[in-house]
Amino acid sequence: MSDGDVVIVGGSLAGLQAALTLGRARRRVVVVDDGRPRNGPARHVHNFLGQPSITPAGLLASAREMLAPYDVTLVTDRVEEIKPSAGDFPRFDVLTGGGDRWSSRAIVLATGLTDELPDVPGVAEGWGDQVVACPHCHGWEVRDRPLAQLGMRGLPERGVARALLLSRWSDDVLLFTDGDDLGAEDLTRLAAAGVRVRTERVAGVETRPDAIDVVLPGGERIERRALFVVTRQHQQSDLAARLGCRLVGAGAGAAETDATGRTSVPGVWAAGTTAIPALLAIGAAGHASTVATDVHAVLLDEDVTAALRQ
């Protein structure tokens, strides 16, 4: 068993930023990550200050390189179990699928989200390229072009909200509800924003270089520059629940935290979208930095308290 001050579960932007902040505070940090970042399929990371057009893999590689001067160990594996141990202060044994075991004074959960895509043929194949979800992340690159918003069947209100949002980037937005009917108020608001609506079920989508066709049951094909979709979000890991952390949100099941990322379980913090599912990439990193400063402060208080007892 190896000892560390903090084990961070998840090594995407939130986890690596937490590791950077803690490493610079001279903490011994272990980051365990299974190599499945949520934004892995994306062609580029946008709306990230200082990184105008970088790939997700490139951004993570750059972040990992920044950790080299510090006492940060990067482990490619999956955490299978975290066992709290008794004592004056919180302590944890962390077990990985590969058989590693780490002893830690604090846990930072930064496992993040996964996206459930609409059940429409072709959506998964185009995901991260012509098919995207977030206008704030990808809208600028396709501004003033013909765009489509595909709803999630059974959640028409989310499709409406996303189509209204998307109308800020283009005056040619077409909302496909995929079989869901809309109420008069929604139709009025969409019309006021210049959004047109098609309520038929969508037979499929077909991607081409720099374009995508939305195919309707009768064979009609509607060409768009990009397709934005509503997704259902799920936490990638159930570790927070298994540790006994209180959860919030019926959908994403995020860990409930205070403003510093502390969960209901002493010694366990949650960072990024593990705590706040709506965060963009840069927001997840910023949140993780705040979380890490609190982790360091709590460990410092433990250090001083232990010294006074000697």
For the stretch 111-122, pLDDT in tens is 999 999 999 999
Residue 47 confidence (pLDDT): 87
Say if CB 203 and CB 213 are below 8 A apart: no
- Give one word for 66, left, alpha or beta, with left for phi > 0 and alpha for psi -120 to 50: alpha
State the angle between helix axes of 156-166 and 184-192 in degrees (0 to 180), rounded to the nearest 10.
Answer: 10
β-strand partners of 207: 212
> Any idea which fold 2-114+232-309 has?
FAD/NAD(P)-binding domain (3.50.50)
Lowest mean pLDDT among 36-40, 141-145, 157-161: 36-40
Instruction: Return d(Cα 232, Cα 229) in angstroms, integer.
Output: 10
CATH code, 118-229 = 3.50.50.60
Instruction: Return d(Cα 223, Cα 60) in angstroms, integer.
Output: 34
Burial class (CB in 10 A: 0-12, 13-18, 19+), 138: buried
High-pLDDT (> 90) share of the chain, %: 87
| pLDDT, mean over the chain | 94
Token pair in block for residue 4: 């560390």
Compute the average pLDDT of residues 242-269. 91
Evaluate if residue 1 carries a pLDDT over 60: no
Chain segment 58-107, per-residue pLDDT in tens = 999 999 999 999 999 999 999 999 999 878 899 999 999 999 999 999 99
Do the first three CATH levels of 2-114+232-309 and 118-229 match, i.e. the same topology? Answer: yes
- Residue 2's pLDDT band (cuts 50, 70, 90): low
List the domain boundaries for the chain: 2-114+232-309, 118-229
Residue 250 confidence (pLDDT): 63
State the angle between helix axes of 56-66 and 13-24 in degrees (0 to 180), rounded to the nearest 10.
Answer: 10
Token pair in block for residue 307: 């010294």
Question: What's the pTM value of the predicted model, to 2 decimals?
Answer: 0.93
